[in-house]
Structure formats: C-alpha cells, structure tokens
C-alpha cells in the first residue's frame, strides 16, 4: 500500500501525564490504510528548527478517519508538538513501514515498555477485532505508576482481560522489569507470539525469554531517521549475523522478527 502525504488538522491534544500526550488528527488517507506497528513522519515545524520530521508510531486509528499518536516530551520536537492545539495543522507522511503480523496465531503476548506501549494499543484492538481472536496477554512496564497513567485502563476498556504491570520503582504491579513477567504469566503449553516495543534493553530481555521458551518474537525498533521512506538510509540496523547489507528500520521494519536483527 502506497503511503500518503497528508495535511492534517489536530482534533484533540490531551495531556495524560506531566510528560505524555495523546494527539488526535484528522488524516483519512493515512487512517484508512494504517496497520498496527506502522508509523507516520510528523513535520512539527514549518521553520528549520527542528529540521527533520519525527517518526511516531500510530497509537490507533479512529473510524478510518483519524490517526492518534501517543508521545512523551523528550526534546525540542516533542515539546513543540505538545504546545499545539486543536484546529492547527500538521503535515504527516504515512502509513510507513511494516507492522506486526498477528493473523492466525494461537496466543499473543504484547510486551510494552514506556512509550513503546503506543503501537501495542492499536495491535491489541485489531487482535481482539478478529472473528476468532487468539488468547491475548498484555504486559506493560514503565519507570513509575505515574508514567503508565491511564494506559492500563485503556487496554482493559478494549476488552483485554489478562493484563499485568511492572514498574521500576514498585509503585504499581511487579517491582522490576516487565520482561520478568513473561515466565510468570505465560502458560508454557501454548505457542506464544510475543510482540514487543520499548527500550532496547527491555526488548533484548523479552527476546531472550522467548528464545529460551521457543516462542516467536516480533520487535518494533526505533532509530534516528531523516525521511522514513528509505531515501536517506540513516536508519540502518545490523542483521543478526552481522554481515550482508544493513536492514533499514523505515522500510524493512519498524517491526522485525527478533531473529532477523543483531542484539548487541
């Protein structure tokens, strides 16, 4: 499916926590074809600082007309984005990249850390919308309970029944890392497919757990990128065997099979 460049009007800007925002945009072309795990490139400023578009994964589409993005303020670009309000316009390109593969799986476990939770919500919704949904487990982690904000409840509202949380400071759920929840909660007699997105060390731990159990694992990677459309070639990641041409997150990903990429 070909991507679009779309001038999009902001419908809603919601502040979920002191640092986390949810932005809803009118973008019917992108919303009409987007799949879970795909991303958009957002042009935040019409000036030259920040210069480049920002890649943001799609948190969900609404009614095939709107695109929702979940982001945390981490730098100049996201700070500017957070200052924008409904009625203002943003230019988006997307939907870009390859998303998660979830059709025909027996049991799927979504493992999200921090802002990596963003694309997993869209994925959970699409999994549950299937006529015969698989067993679906959701494991979410963050540094603190405050950082998770309303996100766990959002998953419950979707109809997710099995959800477990972990926080680094123990303020909510398991006191520790989210990857530690996998062996605790995933029935070993099922063939699980883990879909994970979050900080690199967290995903590495999830990949390692899956490898031990012989489960499938799909990872959504984030890198610096200038264009999102495989022209700049800035988003290179090494293949698992460290040889051959680099993979590119924008085109070959952002979702990869864990065994395709090197976990250095």
Q: Which residues bind another protein (CB under 8 A)?
A: 2-5, 43, 48-53, 91, 93, 223-227, 229-238, 244-246
Give helix 117-129 / helix 151-158 axis angle, nearest 10°: 10
Query: Structure tokens of 168?
Result: 């680094």
Nearest distance in Å: CB 48, another protein: 5
Q: How far is the CB of 155 from another protein (least distance, A)?
A: 32
13 vs 223, beta carbon nearer another protein? 223
Q: Report the C-alpha gap between 87 and 23 in whole angstroms.
A: 12
Query: Closest CB to another protein among 94 and 119?
Result: 94
Is the CB of 135 or the CB of 204 nearer to another protein?
A: 204
Least Å distance, CB 16 to another protein, is 26
Nearer to another protein, 32 or 50 (CB): 50
Query: Residue 6 in contact with residue 32, Cβ under 8 Å?
Result: no
Least Å distance between CB 213 and another protein?
A: 30
Task: Give the nearest distance from C-beta 17 to another protein in angstroms.
Answer: 24
Closer to another protein at the Cβ: 4 or 121? 4
């Amino acid at each position: 499916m070909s991507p679009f460049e779309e001038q999009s009007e902001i419908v809603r800007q919601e502040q979920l926590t002191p640092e986390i925002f949810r932005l809803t945009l009118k973008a019917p072309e992108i919303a009409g074809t987007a799949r879970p795990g795909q991303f958009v490139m957002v042009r935040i400023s019409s000036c030259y600082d920040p210069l480049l578009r920002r890649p943001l994964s799609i948190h969900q589409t609404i009614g095939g007309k709107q695109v929702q993005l979940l982001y945390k303020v981490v730098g100049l670009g996201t700070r500017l984005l957070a200052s924008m309000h409904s009625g203002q316009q943003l230019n988006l390109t997307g939907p870009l990249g390859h998303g998660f593969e979830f059709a025909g799986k027996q049991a799927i476990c979504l493992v999200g850390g921090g802002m990596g939770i963003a694309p997993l919500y869209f994925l959970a919704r699409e999994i549950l919308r299937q006529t015969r949904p698989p067993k679906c487990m959701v494991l979410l982690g963050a540094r603190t309970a405050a950082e998770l904000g309303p996100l766990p409840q959002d998953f419950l509202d979707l109809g997710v029944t099995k959800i477990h949380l972990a926080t680094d400071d123990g303020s909510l759920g398991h006191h520790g890392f989210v990857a530690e929840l996998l062996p605790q909660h995933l029935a070993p007699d099922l063939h699980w497919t883990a879909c994970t997105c979050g900080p690199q060390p967290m995903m590495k731990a999830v990949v390692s757990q899956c490898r031990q159990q012989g489960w499938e694992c799909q990872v959504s990677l984030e890198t610096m990128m200038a264009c999102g459309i495989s022209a700049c070639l800035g988003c290179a990641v090494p293949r698992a065997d460290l040889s051959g041409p680099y993979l590119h997150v924008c085109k070959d990903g952002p979702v990869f099979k864990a065994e395709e990429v090197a976990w250095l």
